[in-house]
Structure 1
Amino acid sequence: MFRQKETPIRIRRRFWTFVLLILDAAMMALSLRLGYFLRFEGKLLPFDPYVIPPVSSLFYTCLVYLFIPLLLVIFFFYRLYDWDHLLGGSGEYTRVVSATTMGLFAVVIVSFMFKAPTIARGWLLLVWFFCCGLIVGARFLFRRIIYWQRKRGIASSRLLIVGANEEGKTIAEQILKSPTAGLKIVGFADDKFSAVGGEVCSNPNGSCAARVIGRTSSLSKLIEDNRVESIVFASSAFSQQRITEMIQSLRGYALDIYLSSGLFEILLSRVMVKEVGGIPLVGIKSIALSTLDLALKTLFDFTVALVAIVLLSPLLLLIAVLIKLTSPGPVLYVQRRVSRGGETFTFYKFRTMCAGAEEMLPELQAYNEADGLIFKMKNDPRVTKVGRFLRRYSLDELPQLFNVLKGEMSLVGPRPPVPSEVERYNDWHLKRLDVTPGMTGLWQVSGRSSLSFDEMVKLDLFYIENWSLTFDIKILLMTVKAVLSGTGAY
């Protein structure tokens, strides 16, 4: 990254970093004041044995002048003002808690070294609690404001993607799906694409999202004419020597330069850069749920499924009666599906199609609207009227709660495939079978039936490699929202 001159995005980042610093300092001051008021003036913690001497207010005022600058310095060391480590994930909030704890510990050490009066433990506890809560809350609101601006293109960096091959296209598609990432694609630079001006990828509404705007031989002109602030090189589109040459040619520009890894099936949470024998290498950490994680997930699944069955039993009975009265055939659709490790199990759904639906499938294959290994058809003639309503709100999936109770499925996980589908999997598709299948998953709340098969698998792999109980709960809440909206399902 080169910094010969300032770009608008860097000026904005510096301004917002200053705002964030002032916001943190204000929350620290408020925390110190609240802690003092509740401990000494409000007497919230009567168990604290320390008696306040006449000089206590002056002493605690001095602590304020020590604590705030010290904590801000610690925040810098914890990269809490480093733009590359902000505005994404919960790691920022975890670092706030760690830095605050370290700051209070440092204050105690400094006061001990200078033989200052003993600091009241109740005050320390309250200050720690308020600091963590107020700073995390303020940073959450700060993040929402930045996201709001980015969605409207106000605080986005103008991005040029170098390489219009499949990897470059995938990069663009992921950026288009993430408006809060703060990147606005100005176009592609490529030497092999058929023609300058050719469309590389489109928006969900079908409009052109990005075109090839020039060749790599004219990178400098493209950067200046399009006010480019960030560049991503699709590593698989060029030789290592060519990429090095292009990066060297950008020395005179203050750009954020990124090189894609080319490893789209490997999640960033598993990638680590380490030095081995003086050679920088990219390592891939193995992923495996611990015994405790598996036990926690199983207990959570069983408890929620049992409670849901009890609460939803009247609805389950009503749906069964409606299916039986409106179309001939069984209430449940039973099928063999593939579970973890390739084992099969009996899968339950409410029947949403007419009798003989499987026999009609070959005739409808020409109308398949999905790519890959799955069949999707919006106006499938086999679906009954009741079935269409059940599918719209995913009510046909409710019998799988019994699969969860039996331990054959989880509440959240990749959808269980049929054996014939697995036979046509590529090697990387098989990674879906590393975990217990689920009733809902990440792709169901990221586009539902509108996603391609490969996009579904990539989202499944993201879930597998980033599992946590919090992630499960978040997906379940997002599922409720997606189901109630009734969009994307058919």
Structure 2
Amino acid sequence: MKRSEIAISASLVPIDYLTVVLAGIASYSIRFWQPVQEIRPAIFELSFNSYLGFLWGISAIWIFGFAIAGLYSMRGTRRPIDEIYKIILGSSTAVAILMFIFFFSRNLFDSRFIIIAGWIFSTIFVITSRGLIRLIQHSLYKYGLGVHRVIIIGRGKLAQEVEENFKKDVKAGFKVVGKFSDFSLESEKEIYQLLMSDKFDEILIADASIPNEQVTRLNDFSYLNHITLKFVAGIFDTPITNFEFNTIAGLPIIEVKKTRLDGWGKIYKRVFDVVISTFLITLIIPFLLLISFLILIDSRGQIFFSYQRIGQFGRPFKYFKFRSMVKNAHQKRFDEEFMATHENLRAGTPMIKLKDDPRITRVGKIIRRFSIDELPELFNVLIGRMSLVGPRPHEVEEVAKYNSHQKRVLTIKPGMTGMAQVSGRSDLNFDDEIRLDIWYMENWSPKLDLMILFRTPLAVLKKRKTE
């Protein structure tokens, strides 16, 4: 999903809230309008300030109703008729909840007119505001702003129809920037050059005759280069399983979903990371100072170990941990004589893990045993380079050896803990670790994150085979 779509979808919540507040003010104003009072005088007294106090809370009930109706699902394309239906459903749900509250409360006002008018105005106002947002978005599409820049893969009538539909239906927000008959090795090179020039965001397969081998390579290509892969519904029998169906420019389109950590999932996870990391940092500052002091008196060198790791989308970042090894320990991994005399428990994989590693200091053994050395990673979480839960941070040398399947874990931010850590920690082989991390990425949920966080302390305390 494009950033502009995420921004628009996220802004809908405060916009809808303020729109409902305006609808409530309009309902009150009409109810106490003099001509209406002359026809049917109000039998209750309620000042505007008191009403406004109620209105702020009541409007939140409307947002809850809209959320239940599915108005805030992050999808790139929404049909107007579906959106209108959900607005009516959400408003009706909110009114039902409000009536239930009023039935059991004696403190709130009782005005059927304001409630009915609020339902009508909120529905009309929100439909209007959503229409204006859609109109603005479509206007921006005409200038090439926020559009999906797509490359079509395919030959024949279907591929031609897709291209023509996208050109005719500007409101769909898709711009065809290239078309290839297949995904041969030559085509892959040309497409990669376009990608490096930042010419497109998505690839759309529109040909049933594309070999499954090419579809699989396209799927890997989209993962490795962090672009969206879509294809016209019903034309393939492939091993790809994570789909999202949509209708774009009158065509049934399927998008291959790399992870649920998109849209609201991405926003939720970031807010959760900021809140929890801030709380934990504030809580353990005295403990961090104590560990820093012990590291200083135990061995020469800096308190923190800072090294470049590979994060989301293959971007490098500075990674912080408490130093648990002797000074310049990292250089030893390039010393052939040293490596030859120490057993690598991860031999045959991109990773290095030495048995009875002599580079680890006395304090380092303790803080590693209980993963205390990883606590400074909370600062990486706070600034957005990492997440509380996710695949482990990737070393530059290791990523260079990853195959296309293993590089899928670069789709999301690395984490302080993850599925691999709580499912066996260092006992797991590299392939199992990758398998668990990809499963987490494709099946993420807030509940899964909480489960992993709760299981992490138990995984840390559990005795490992390598110790």
Q: For this structure pair, what is the TM-score category when the shorter chain's length is used for normalisation?
A: 0.3 to 0.5
TM superposition score normalised by structure 1: 0.42
TM superposition score normalised by structure 2: 0.44
